[in-house]
Amino acid sequence: MGRVVILLFYLFTFSPLANAQELPVYLDESKPMEQRINDALGRMTLDEKIAVIHAQSKFSSAGIKRLGFPDLWTDDGPHGVRPDVLWDEWVQAGQTNDSCVAFPALTCLAATWNPDMARLYGESLGEEALYRHKDVILGPGVNIYRTPLAGRNFEYMGEDPWLASRMVVPYVQGLQSKGVAACVKHYALNNDEEYRHQVNVVVSDRALREIYLPAFEAAVREGEAWAVMGAYNLYQNQHNCHNATLLNKILKQEWRFDGVVISDWGGCHHTEEAIANGLDMEFGSWTNGLTEGLSNAYDNYYLAQPYKRLIQEGKYSTRELDEKVRRVLRLMFRTNMNRQRPYGAMCSEAHYAAARKIAQEGIVLLKNATPHSDRGSENSGRLLPLPSAQRLLVVGENAVKMMTVGGGSSSLKVQREVSPLQGLRERFPQVDYARGYVGDVGGNFDGVSTGQDLKDNRTAGELIAEAVEKARQADCVIFIGGLNKADYQDSEGHDRKDYALPYGQDAVIEALLKANKRLVVVNISGNAVQMPWADRVPAIVQGWFLGSETGRALADVLSGDVNPSGHLPYTWYRRLEDTGAHALGTYPGTWRPEHDIIDEEYKEDIFVGYRWADRQGIRPLFPFGHGLSYTTFGTGKAKVSAPEMTRGGTLTFTIPVTNSGQRAGSTTLQLYITDRKSSVERPVKELKAFRKVFLNPGEQQLVQLTIDERALSFFDSDRQQWVAESGDFVASIGFSAGDIVARVPFKLR
């Protein structure tokens, strides 16, 4: 007997057979993932299954300790890795090792019109996330820019579904290449912030499919995103975090999404809807805090004990639960159970370089004219770039205000943020400063403080007088204003109340114009703003929220060290009423009598952004896709690979582009499609391809733009499918939606 025991001991401890038996399938990396998932699932108890589908702290959910699965850590997103918070609070934990690099806001990324920048962004952010042991980054956001008042437009990728699609895919792939999941948000129709928990969006199937879903679809189908976040609002009278149509029908069945649906924080409201309608993980629901509760407050989550009770009572089997858990396990195998995951890096020089490069490429030169005072004089020429020897006066709060703190969940704690004033002072020898106006002097978000004291008790008149006095002495004045991250600005939870610039900035600009015609306005924002002075200010630059390297990237462009190449990801209307949503009075919606739900009907339908401007014949201040350079570009005759597209085929358009100026620079060729005759009303034109090219002076390149049948299609609501009707089409190629240089007719057979 003794010998048998010893033999068995040897067999199971030292022989290769024993090792093979000991390694459970779910830990065996040579086995297919689905097999490992099923194996792990089969070993889990009901309590373990319930535990992994809801939060255990503000940003984490439980692992399966008995089986060696670590806890899963999420974090915002999308512009850098948010500082760690206390276990059960929003307030930062006060760590000293969680200061990150802030990358430019996603509007800036979209404005690069360069998918390589999106890949670089995703990879860099992924490395920062890894270093901080985060498994899921809560971003990117791809809700369509429908109104310039929307508080979170700065976190999204503009008004056009094609542009947002091309930019979101490499971001997701770059991030996930590091073993960190992207959680694409906010799915769907979260196009403004005001009453975001109560808005029920009423939208046609066609607008849903053609405008609001394509970027999500691309992120899922092409980017293969591992997570999607449900939005707070309602659609078809059902909250989007457990919305049968959006989650089950479209996301999971049609798009074959195999990742997890995560609720927005506090976006889950109903256990049975959550069970049945496709929510996989519940986060951020109200808890009374671990300190106040007698037991673990997270047990009260809709997908915690209430779900378990329904299973125990026999109302549900574990069919839905197992499906959710499978998805969570898949997420874990892709992230924190992936042993090939690299280690990551935080605040590396490479990350700062990436942030600066993306910022440089996203800054948009909106206007660059000859100042009135210079006309006919010797130094007649465009105001930008600025020669180094000039005496510069910088005016405006946004020249000094830190913008990485505030704005809601995207708020960061950065290792450094170079302000515009600092960046300009590093680059130019003579830079004076005047405040000009006082806007928001706050500098705190969830316990993170900028440490800046921006208080200034002078009156508006005194501030303007000082700026004007100094402007008279300067060779050139750079006004740096715009919006900020305070409530009711570019910030989560509310929308702007006004299209106009806040804090009396227009008056400052007008006064400066009177004092010195050599005026550059740099607008820092994630939204268009009203610019009543635009026709009289010679140079206007759109500066976005540029992150850690803000000041340097701005100085790079203003000095001409870098030739600007950003293009607008949205239409810049002169007046708010020019926007479809506002022209039709559909914003913010109509309250129901009980005042619990506000219905917001998207009456402009598919005519969002330039589609509305084209249809109504409105000339915006700056068209979609607009962006100037310090050099000039010319084009030759455009050609198409064949006169007809066959079903399921593609067509390639070729256009020669030449840098006809003196400086090296990049431009973006944009291709828009027009359907000449259709059974339904179609937009005048729609972006379906673009390409950014870099050219040395005198250099020419043949730019190729390829489209497929989907580019010719509309969504047929009756048939519930994409339809491309045979007939005549036109491809319009240009430098913006308002600057078309070539038109090529073709047919679809």
673, 729 contact by CB (below 8 A): yes
**Whole-angstrom distance, CA of residue 121 vs CA of residue 174:** 7
Number of chain residues interacting with ligand BGC (CB under 6 A): 7
Q: Which is nearer to ligand BGC, 188 or 512 (CB)?
A: 188
How far apart are CB 447 and ligand BGC at their closest, in Å? 14
**Whole-angstrom distance, CA of residue 591 vs CA of residue 496:** 19
> Which 3 state secondary structure label does DSSP give 505?
helix
Q: Which is nearer to ligand BGC, 76 or 128 (CB)?
A: 76
How far apart are CB 243 and ligand BGC at their closest, in Å? 16
Q: Which is nearer to ligand BGC, 77 or 481 (CB)?
A: 77
Q: Where are the alpha helices (DSSP H) in 335-387?
A: 349-362
**Whole-angstrom distance, CA of residue 322 vs CA of residue 424:** 57
**Catalytic choice (98, 264, 578, 605):** 264
Please name which of 502, 475, 498 lies closest in space to residue 401, comparing C-alpha atoms. Answer: 502
In a 13 Å sphere around the CA of 143, the CA atoms on its Cβ side amount to 25
264 is catalytic: yes
**Whole-angstrom distance, CA of residue 225 vs CA of residue 169:** 9
Q: Which is nearer to ligand BGC, 227 or 251 (CB)?
A: 227
Q: Which is nearer to ligand BGC, 285 or 668 (CB)?
A: 285
Q: Which is nearer to ligand BGC, 436 or 526 (CB)?
A: 526
**Whole-angstrom distance, CA of residue 135 vs CA of residue 332:** 8
Query: Contacts with ligand BGC in 215-244 (CB under 6 A)?
Result: none
Indicate whether 420 belongs to the interface with ligand BGC (CB under 6 A). Answer: no
Count other C-beta atoms under 10 Å from residue 334's C-beta.
Answer: 21
By CB under 6 A, name the one of 138, 175, 227, 363 that touches ligand BGC.
138
Indicate whether 157 belongs to the interface with ligand BGC (CB under 6 A). Answer: no
Query: Contacts with ligand BGC in 306-325 (CB under 6 A)?
Result: none
458, 504 contact by CB (below 8 A): no
Q: Which two tokens stand for residue 175?
A: 């991030």
Indicate whether 264 belongs to the interface with ligand BGC (CB under 6 A). Answer: yes
How far apart are CB 445 and ligand BGC at their closest, in Å? 12
Indicate whether 360 belongs to the interface with ligand BGC (CB under 6 A). Answer: no
How far apart are CB 549 and ligand BGC at their closest, in Å? 24
Indicate whether 185 belongs to the interface with ligand BGC (CB under 6 A). Answer: yes
138, 78 contact by CB (below 8 A): yes
Indicate whether 76 belongs to the interface with ligand BGC (CB under 6 A). Answer: yes
490, 483 contact by CB (below 8 A): yes
Q: Which is nearer to ligand BGC, 409 or 571 (CB)?
A: 409
Count other C-beta atoms under 10 Å from residue 472's C-beta.
Answer: 12
Q: Which is nearer to ligand BGC, 265 or 622 (CB)?
A: 265
By CB under 6 A, name the one of 409, 548, 732, 736 that touches ligand BGC.
409
69, 424 contact by CB (below 8 A): no
How far apart are CB 405 and ligand BGC at their closest, in Å? 15
> Sheet holding 686-695: strands in order across?
644-645, 739-748, 727-736, 665-675, 686-695
> Which 3 state secondary structure label does DSSP give 660?
coil
> Which 3 state secondary structure label does DSSP give 640?
strand
**Residue 715, CA distances (Å) to 69, 207, 646, 681 in order:** 43, 8, 19, 11
How far apart are CB 311 and ligand BGC at their closest, in Å? 28
How do strand 476-482 and strand 519-524 relate by DSSP bridges?
parallel
How far apart are CB 411 and ligand BGC at their closest, in Å? 9
Count other C-beta atoms under 10 Å from residue 288's C-beta.
Answer: 11
How far apart are CB 423 and ligand BGC at their closest, in Å? 29
Q: Which is nearer to ligand BGC, 98 or 264 (CB)?
A: 264
Q: Which is nearer to ligand BGC, 409 or 579 (CB)?
A: 409
How far apart are CB 232 and ligand BGC at their closest, in Å? 7
62, 56 contact by CB (below 8 A): yes
How far apart are CB 150 and ligand BGC at their closest, in Å? 13
Q: Which is nearer to ligand BGC, 303 or 555 (CB)?
A: 303
By CB under 6 A, name the one of 26, 72, 77, 307 that touches ligand BGC.
77
DSSP class per residue in 56-108: SSSSEE--BGGGTBPPEEEE--SSSPPPPB-TTSSSB---SS--BPPPPPHHH
How far apart are CB 56 and ligand BGC at their closest, in Å? 15
Please name which of 165, 235, 248, 164 lies closest in space to residue 205, comparing C-alpha atoms. Answer: 235
Indicate whether 199 belongs to the interface with ligand BGC (CB under 6 A). Answer: no
Residues 6 or more apart whose CB falls under 8 angstroms from that of 645 comprise 651, 707, 709, 712, 746, 747, 748, 749
How far apart are CB 77 and ligand BGC at their closest, in Å? 6
Please name which of 683, 674, 690 lies closest in space to residue 730, comparing C-alpha atoms. Answer: 674
**Whole-angstrom distance, CA of residue 159 vs CA of residue 528:** 12
Q: Which two tokens stand for residue 196?
A: 């975001």
Please name which of 467, 462, 458 lies closest in space to residue 519, comparing C-alpha atoms. Answer: 467
By CB under 6 A, name the one of 69, 145, 212, 265 that touches ligand BGC.
265
Residues 6 or more apart whose CB falls under 8 angstroms from that of 256 comprise 221
**Whole-angstrom distance, CA of residue 434 vs CA of residue 347:** 32
- The catalytic residue positions are 264
Q: Which residues bind ligand BGC (CB under 6 A)?
A: 76-77, 138, 185, 264-265, 409
